[in-house]
Amino acid sequence: MAKIRVGVNGFGTIGKRVATAVALQDDMELIGVTKTRPNFEARTAVSKGYGLYVPAENVQAFKDAGIAVSGTIDDLLGKVDIMVDCTPGTLGEFYREKYKAAGVKAIFQGGEDHALTGISFNSTANYSESWGAQLSRVVSCNTTGLLRTLNPLDRKFKIKNAFVTIVRRAADPGDIKNGPINGLEPSVKLPTHHGPDVQSIMPWLNINTMAVKASTTLMHLHTVVVQLASETTTEEVLEVFRNAPRVRMVSSKDGIKCTANIMELARELGRDRSDMYEIIVWEDGVKVVGNTLYYYQAVHQESDVIPENIDCIRSMCKLEQDAAASQAKTNKAMGISQ
Ligand code: NAD
């Protein structure tokens, strides 16, 4: 079977990781990536052997900077079956129309609204809803994290209500524009958008979210309180988490006490860019009292959505019908153990 030809629009935090992950899959071919400016990331793309496509009006600037380009963004659209759009979350409508005109399927990211595509994607919760679709949207890093644990819990126990506080990283590590660099900033528009975003995939779920920006770049941390439909035990919940796709259990007794320790573990795992694709749950921070469940989880914002994008390509391009089979294939290629 011919490989699916993939392009990545926007070679930033998410786009560069999606490009690497696509290049690792044996049923996909990375045709090229796009850059708007001739900077070090454009040089990195070329040095990795990726085709580099740029806006027509900027071709000369890349030539002047000594960076070889393979063509324009429009040229790339003529060569691919699907584009993974990783541009900042403001260009969705503009690019959606371009992809439609070129007859190319497209995946957008969580910075865009659900309404842009009408379908949102999470591999654990709704893999089959994007089957054969022209457009889909991989939900944000925080929403992905919540779905990875809440969906398996809901399947097993039925959730009556979930209350989540998201302690958000203030900026990505390479971002010097955002903050705060010293302070905690509550999101005063309540409830925050995260709950409705989870509901774009689990519309029946009662979920209430608040958020606080914290002076860190490493990871987000969620505190989660869930009212289950019936009483259960801590051990039964731990069993659900242990079997949930792309959820990794850690223990503070093992020295993993904070997000810095998780990133240190990720470096030891030796993965690409020291990424942590799984959602981290503290085993000794899970507690059930009656029908109320408490837990903490941590989200590596730069990377948890990357395997989701790969599974979404498989669903939209009808490469693999079974979610678990696609997850297993993606995981094997990316070195994810569960
Ligand atoms: P980013 O700023 O790191 O990268 C965006 C890339 O798009 C940059 O390379 C930029 O040069 C490029 N770009 C800008 N204008 C363009 C244009 N007109 N045409 C083509 N490319 C253009 O952003 P990011 O963090 O990678 O975010 C991308 C998307 O992923 C957003 O929707 C965001 O909400 C979502 N997302 C981000 C994170 C995160 O933590 N960084 C996590 C999950 C999802």
Is 258 a known active-site residue?
A: no
pLDDT band with cut points at 50, 70 and 90 for residue 298: very high
* Whether residue 9 has pLDDT greater than 80: yes
**Nearest to 130, CA basis, from 308, 8, 306, 302:** 308
Could you tell me which residues are beta bridge partners of residue 120?
Answer: 137
The Cα angle at residue 36 between residues 35 and 42, in degrees rounded to 5 = 40
The answer to whether 166 touches 222, Cβ cutoff 8 Å, is yes
Q: pLDDT tens, 17-76?
A: 999 999 999 999 999 999 999 999 999 999 999 999 999 999 999 999 999 999 999 999
Rounded to the nearest whole angstrom, what is the distance from the C-alpha of residue 291 to the centroid of ligand 1? 40
**Nearest to 84, CA basis, from 129, 123, 28, 37:** 28
* Whether residue 272 has pLDDT greater than 80: yes
322 Cα distance to chain centroid = 20
Q: What is the DSSP string of 190-206?
A: SS-THHHHHHTT-TT--
Rounded to the nearest whole angstrom, what is the distance from the C-alpha of residue 201 to the centroid of ligand 1? 22
Q: pLDDT tens, 136-190?
A: 999 999 999 999 999 999 999 999 999 999 999 999 999 999 999 999 999 999 9
* Whether residue 1 has pLDDT greater than 90: no
Q: pLDDT tens, 59-78?
A: 999 999 999 999 999 999 99
Q: Distance between CA 157 and CA 138 in Å, rounded?
A: 26
Does ligand 1 lie within 6 Å of residue 308's CB atom?
no
Q: Distance between CA 246 and CA 276 in Å, rounded?
A: 10
Q: Which residue owns the Cα nearest ligand 1 atom 9?
A: 12
Mean pLDDT of the residues in the chain? 97
Q: Distance between CA 67 and CA 61 in Å, rounded?
A: 9
Does ligand 1 lie within 6 Å of residue 285's CB atom?
no
Global confidence as pTM: 0.98
Rounded to an integer, the average pLDDT of 208-225 is: 98
Q: Look up residue 209 and give its two tokens.
A: 């979210």
pLDDT band with cut points at 50, 70 and 90 for residue 11: very high
- By most ligand atoms within 8 Å of CB, the mutation choice from 13, 109, 112 for ligand 1 is 13
Rounded to an integer, the average pLDDT of 188-213 is: 98
Does ligand 1 lie within 6 Å of residue 14's CB atom?
yes
Could you tell me which residues are beta bridge partners of residue 28?
Answer: 4
- State the DSSP code for 271: -
Does ligand 1 lie within 6 Å of residue 58's CB atom?
no
pLDDT score recorded for residue 338:
66
Percentage of residues in the chain having pLDDT higher than 70: 100
pLDDT score recorded for residue 337:
86
Of 86, 141, 312, 317, catalytic: 141
* Whether residue 79 has pLDDT greater than 80: yes
Does ligand 1 lie within 6 Å of residue 36's CB atom?
yes
Q: pLDDT tens, 95-142?
A: 999 999 999 999 999 999 999 999 999 999 999 999 999 999 999 999
The enclosing H or E element of 218 equals none
Rounded to the nearest whole angstrom, what is the distance from the C-alpha of residue 14 to the centroid of ligand 1? 6
The H helix count followed by the E strand count for the chain is: 13, 16
Which amino acid is located at 137 in the chain? R
Percentage of residues in the chain having pLDDT higher than 90: 99
